[in-house]
Amino acid sequence: MKLRAEQLTGLYRAFITALGGSEDEAGAFAEQFVIADLRGMDWQGLKSLERHVVGPIRDGVIRLGRPVDLVREGPSSVVLDAHGGLGHVACRRAMAAAIEMAERTGTGSAAIHECGDTGLLGGYTTAAAERDCVGIMFNNTNAYVAPWGGAERVMGIAPFSAAIPAGEAYPVLIDMSLAKARPAFDEDAIWEPPFPTPPMLSFDTLREYALTVMVELLAGGLADMPIGLDKERRGECGVFAIAVHIPHFTDPAAFRARVDRYVGHLKSARRAQGVEEILLPGERGFRERDRRLRDGIPVSDEVWTNVVRLAEEVGVDWRTAAAIG
């Protein structure tokens, strides 16, 4: 079956409100999950509804209705405390604050203490790109990965995103984990209750390990969150967001033109044998978004069966919420 973005938005909002969430929480959550569904990143969208959000809410790992408090503020920095609440609300506020500070001072940054599931980081960084900013966001996670040369889970998967606005081209976007998380987390058994712990992950290269060390120290350290083996429970997440306001550094139209020109250089490079086209980071997802906005978002029978079961468990009228006649 295929659903439109508006149908999934209604469904997501209904889930959060049925679980006791506010309209603001429901809206922030739905917005970010639909972005993932549209970009084809299904493991961050409908497929992960129970594992990432509904399950943790019912288990008390994510606590709805918690405020996002301002802990510390400077001319170009803020520290927020999300109190273990829905991370989509805190992350949206953090990036919005970073953008506003960047527009005043050139750069803005925000740390989030005790943030729940963040959803797709690319949704927040592309919001910065839409405001003439370079957007950067990363966070630490629970320990799933062994350090380079180790044989014990100590490190997180280090989600990282950066978005750079372009002119005629799509924004240049990276949105990924620094460890090879998706293949392990996307195994069928991992998505079935009671959600067994993913197998211990390892790094393919020393570069991945080194970058993850830095992300963990920055995200966890600056957000005053436990790092490594100091983490004692699921959901102890620290987030760091940065916005760089391009007009403070150079003419934004000229910057976008330079990005377009660079994109052209890469795309016009002589291609290796068997390669039909050279793509930029994020381009495949933007193309998929355009296609799914036009044609609908495909949902497998297996995923939809699980969604219907989950809706009935939490009291969501899925036919009305998703406008399915």
Q: 194 and 49 in one domain?
A: no
Both 290 and 276 in one domain: the answer is no
Tokens of 29: 């959550």
- pLDDT score of 297: 97
Residue found under tokens 């509804």: 49
Q: Give the H or E element holding residue 206.
A: helix 206-222
**75 with 186, same domain?**
yes
Residues 45 and 80 in one domain: no
Exposed/middle/buried for 281, CB within 10 Å: 0-12, 13-18, 19+? middle
> Domain range spanning residue 121?
68-281
Summarised one tens digit per residue, pLDDT across range 254-269 is 999 999 999 999 999 9
Same domain membership, residue 231 and residue 125:
yes
CA 319, chain centre distance (Å): 28
pLDDT at 196: 58
Residues 291 and 276 in one domain: no
Do residues 143 and 233 make contact, with C-beta atoms less than 8 angstroms apart? no
Please tell me the distance from the alpha carbon of residue 287 to that of residue 100, in angstroms, as a whole number.
Answer: 29
Same domain? For 54 and 148 the reply is no
- pLDDT tens by residue, 98-123: 999 999 999 999 999 999 889 899 99
Q: State the helix-helix crossing angle for 87-105 and 122-129, rounded to 10 degrees.
A: 30
Handedness of CA 35, 38, 44, 49 (dihedral sign): positive
220 and 115 inside one domain: yes
Neighbour tally for 210: CB within 10 Å: 13
CATH number of the domain encompassing residue 146: 3.30.1370.60
**pLDDT, tens digit (0-9, with 9 covering 90-100), for 289-316:** 999 999 999 999 999 999 999 999 999 9
Same domain, 10 and 106: no
**Strands 237-245 vs 107-115: parallel, antiparallel or unpaired:** antiparallel
Using CA atoms, how far apart are residues 280 and 261, in angstroms rounded to an integer? 13
pTM over 0.95: no
Residue 235 — φ and ψ, nearest 5°?
95, 10
Number of domains in the chain: 2
Query: Is the separation of the CB atoms in 144 and 179 below 8 Å?
Result: yes
Q: Note whether 83 and 22 are same-domain residues.
A: no
Whether residue 270 is found in the same domain as residue 138: yes
223 neighbors 112 (Cβ within 8 angstroms) = yes
Question: Is residue 322 pLDDT above 70, yes or no?
Answer: yes
CATH number of the domain within which 325 lies: 1.10.1530.10
Looking at the fold, whether 268 and 320 belong to one and the same domain comes out as no
**Mean of per-residue pLDDT scores for the chain:** 92
Give yes or no for a cis peptide into 165 (omega within 30° of 0): no
φ/ψ (deg, to 5) at 64: -70, 155
